[in-house]
Amino acid sequence: MMSLGCANAQDEDQTLVRVPAPKAGKAVATFAAGCFWASQEAMSELKGVEQVIAGYSGGNMPNPSYADVCTERTGHAEAVQVYYDPKVITYEQLLTAFFNAHDPTTLNRQGPDEGTSYRSAIFYRTPAEKETIQKVIKEVNASKHYKNPVVTQVAPYTAFYGGEAYHQGYYREHMDRGYIRTVSMPKVIKMRAAVPELLKPEFKK
């Protein structure tokens, strides 16, 4: 099903952005939490996060376009690649923010967006990351913060493809648009309220 976000954008910059390797001493994480416009903004507001790229992960087609992913036939989820300083913010803290930045209990759906491309997913790179993910999921479920259990997919990382240039920073550039105000913004506000200690100074109240 096409989401409210999968609109015709033929006049926008369709160039797929380059995905860099992490710099020395830095780390990278890949998450999917529904529409990547909100996810990119939420993750970029965290201390220690230096760059967040909106793109696609978890599918079976190399270098997919937004139009390809919106067909729900490539297997990809809208995802974000988070480049961060592990000396400032830990992987576990990123996970805590991730679980507060969307609803991880709705299968293949986030609000009005429905389909596997909007699934909640975490793509781990090491056994240690997988263990941390499982630990945090148990804690989230035990906390009863959500009425239903977490259904987030936990899968090994295989590839991440950068999305089109116009998706990068879309949230901040289009805050007047209905979708951003009614779907994306509540996710970001929810995360800010849940983890104020993890925010960069400019995003704290």
* Nearby residues of 131 by Cβ (< 8 Å), 6 or more positions away: none
Q: What's the Cα-to-Cα distance from 43 to each of 47, 115, 127, 184, rounded to whole Å? A: 9, 22, 23, 13
Strand ranges inside 35-162, DSSP E: 49-57, 77-84, 109-110, 113-114, 120-124, 153-156, 160-162
State the catalytic residue, choosing from 6, 27, 33, 35. Answer: 35
Active site residue 6: no
Pairing of strands 153-156, 160-162: unpaired
Cα–Cα distance measured from residue 137 to residue 149, given in angstroms and rounded to the nearest whole number: 9
Hey, which residues are catalytic here? Answer: 35
